Amino acid sequence: MKHRALVVAFIATALVFAWQASTVHFNYGGNWTGLFCTGASQPVPPELDPGTMRSIHPIGYDGQMYRYVAHDPFFRKDYAQYVDDARLRYRRILVPLAAYALAGGRQSIIDYSFVLVILISVFAGCYWSSCYCVLHGRSEWWGLVFLLVPATISSIDRMLVDGTLAALFAGFLLYTERRDWRSLLAVCTLAALTRDTGILLPASVVLAAMLKSEFRRTALFGLSVLPAAAWAAFVSIHTPPSTAYRIATYPLFGHLQRLLVFRHDPAPWKQSILQVSDVVALLGLLVCLGLAVYSILPERMREIQICVGLFVILGLVLGAPSHLIEPYGYARPISPLLLFLMLRGSLFGLIAPLTLTLAVGVNLVVQVAGVAKGLLR
């Protein structure tokens, strides 16, 4: 089983790297910093500016911020002033710090090691997903659905940390089913360091242990968040307060409001695609939340069911207009839930998350066209 799962993971990672190399070559002129989507009007640290490729978008995207964290994880170069929400970004330290460590702190190769960390995440996510599928009587190849998770796509495309958390969630599913507590403890510790929502993984183990009066496990997994808590305390000394909490609102309130808002685009054909995909994706999101609840209700209150339930709650309360503006953004925090539905193997459980995948994929149309045009020359 392990050997076949490794083959699946290797093939998936090779395909992802081939795509990245192609889009960098044909769309970014061979400059790998194009993957970080640095805004055309955004300030960039002077040392990084000469080699940075700018996006056509004025603001760019989150990957540029994690890049600055990777180049200055310990606040020695004052790059935090270039980060939009420094406390939020710096708390999500696992991927940037791993890139810094793999590069040995050498500034000239940190950007490349960042890409490598994302590829390692893809490999791990596909491997764990394949092993989990085999555990439930499905083919190892079903684990390739990990590549269809919105968090995975966006991390491959714009160097985000969400794909790494999705990969760790796949490990969480596998090691929970195997009752491999040591490996699960490691996964939970890393998840809490990856991004804020990663704390839901150890929290679910703690809650399940408390319900069973397993106090030793409760304490052990409670302590797994200490590295993240210690790092957050260090970050709070060097950064102003975060405003990220503003994306939370009353459950479902923001989602219903968003259905009445239509995005506009100068190109009529693109506007139609955006508006249709927005409605389909948002309805798909609500269906996914309902499916998740339906799938965990008959089960006992175990770690996986509790964790999925916590992600359902997260999906319901993250409803601020700024957060729900496009599927590329709001599909990422609940991607572990989407992966859970995909890996269950039912056709409907796959179709509903795919509405979000397709909506996210709309953002790749221009890149795909650029690569196709380059290959056909």
pLDDT of residue 325: 84
Q: Model-level pTM?
A: 0.95
145 touches 280 (CB < 8 A): no
245 pLDDT higher than 80: no
pLDDT of residue 270: 65
- Per-residue pLDDT of 9-54, as tens digits, reads 999 999 999 999 999 999 999 999 999 999 999 999 999 999 999 9
**pLDDT band, very low/low/confident/very high, at 324 (cuts 50, 70, 90):** confident
161 touches 95 (CB < 8 A): yes
115 touches 28 (CB < 8 A): no
Contacts 24+ apart (CB under 8 A), 311-317: 311/197, 311/200, 311/336, 311/337, 312/337, 313/251, 314/197, 314/200, 315/285, 315/288, 315/289, 316/251, 316/252, 316/255, 316/289, 317/248, 317/249, 317/250, 317/251
Q: Considering the chain, what percentage of its residues have pLDDT values greater than 90?
A: 78
pLDDT of residue 326: 85
**pLDDT band, very low/low/confident/very high, at 168 (cuts 50, 70, 90):** very high
204 pLDDT higher than 90: yes
Neighbours of 47 (CB within 10 A): 12
- Per-residue pLDDT of 137-146, as tens digits, reads 999 999 999 9
The rounded distance, in Å, linking the Cα atoms of 332 and 247 is: 14
261 pLDDT higher than 80: no
Average pLDDT over residues 335-360: 90
Those residues with Cβ within 8 angstroms of residue 6's Cβ, 6 or more apart along the chain or in another chain = 127
The rounded distance, in Å, linking the Cα atoms of 239 and 260 is: 37
Tell me which DSSP letter residue 52 carries.
Answer: P
In 3-state terms the chain splits into helix, strand, coil percentages (rounded to 5) of 75, 0, 25
Those residues with Cβ within 8 angstroms of residue 151's Cβ, 6 or more apart along the chain or in another chain = 160, 162, 163, 165, 166, 331, 332, 335, 336
pLDDT of residue 1: 63
Q: Which of 309, 307, 323, 12 is nearest to 148 (CA)?
A: 12
Domain boundaries, the chain: 2-376
Those residues with Cβ within 8 angstroms of residue 176's Cβ, 6 or more apart along the chain or in another chain = 184, 205, 302, 303, 304
- Per-residue pLDDT of 75-95, as tens digits, reads 999 999 999 999 999 999 999
**For the chain, what is the mean pLDDT?**
93
Contacts 24+ apart (CB under 8 A), 48-54: 53/28, 53/29
- Per-residue pLDDT of 263-283, as tens digits, reads 766 666 666 777 777 888 899
Q: Which of 182, 208, 213, 195 is nearest to 304 (CA)?
A: 208
